[in-house]
Amino acid sequence: MEKLGGKFNIGGSLEVNRLGFGAMRITGAGVWGEPKDRAGAISVLRKVVELGIDFIDTADSYGPYVSEELIREALHPYDTGVKIATKAGLVRTGPNQWHPVGRPEYLRQELEMSLRRLGVDRIDLFQLHRIDPKVDLADQIGLLSDLQREGKVDRIGLSEVSVENIEEASRFAKIDTVQNLYNLANRSSEAVLEYCDANGIGFIPWFPIQMGSLAGESGVVGEIAKEVVATPAQVSLAWLLQRSKVVLPIPGTSSVEHLIENAAADRVTLSDDQFKRLFEVGNK
């Protein structure tokens, strides 16, 4: 099978197919509690690896804990070579409620619990879900660095950060990925992506398929989808894959049908003109 979107080496050694899977939507409404269809969620996760996707992104706060538990139930002992990225640093008090907590003792506790829930001895990629403004960044990143030295974490990542945040965090550990909101309709992290591209840092765009009116029949995504005989979602993902070799899209879904559609995005090739049209409309 042709590998999805080509490959990227996170940190120079953790090789993954660039088109991954985000495991947030397999939980309940508001990213809270169990999914309505647990068996369906398990089926989606198993189909992920059947399609050749070998990079799954989750977090302790998805559920909370539910997403990690489902991943273990569906895929452990991960003999397909799948790599699991997870995060800590946000606590939940209810559906759609998220609060940053970056105290080192809390981050260590959550890492230990993630190891147990996922059934592994080491997390492939451990990401600080949000920087806690009430805790020194040196303490937050220092704890992740300690976990890495202890062999419990392979690679370290950040989420929702600025270029300045990355540069400061890099004083205390090697930062190998950044996960920010980025898609055709939202380019607020353009400078961060440029920085990651220049420095070989994996850039994981969350919410990668937001298109808004661009996907309508008269919108540029809809127009180009007709031209290349693809869906608007596939065009959006193809654009991300062509945007930079460091981009690692992680579209999520609770539907096997949508998963198959998303996975086919790597077979969509945009011409230089089509890529430029998409880039320009999203930058207005």
Give the integer Cα–Cα distance in Å for 235 and 183.
11
Q: Which two tokens stand for residue 248?
A: 């690692």
Classify 78 as helix, strand or coil: coil
Phi, psi of 125 (to 5 degrees): -140, 115
Query: Which burial class, exposed, middle or buried, applies to 280 when counting CB atoms under 10 A from its CB (0-12, 13-18, 19+)?
Result: exposed
Q: Which two tokens stand for residue 169?
A: 């965090």
Q: Which two tokens stand for residue 136?
A: 């020194």
Catalytic residue (one of 62, 78, 182, 195): 62
Whether residue 104 is preceded by a cis peptide bond, meaning omega within 30 degrees of 0, is: no
Q: Which residues of 79-89 are buried (b: 16+ CB within 10 A; e: fewer)?
A: eeebbbbbbbb
What's the CA angle centered on 70, arms 20 and 114, to 5 degrees? 85
Q: 185: which DSSP letter?
A: S
Give the integer Cα–Cα distance in Å for 129 and 161.
10
Is 62 annotated as catalytic?
A: yes
Amino acid at 212: G
Residues with catalytic function:
62
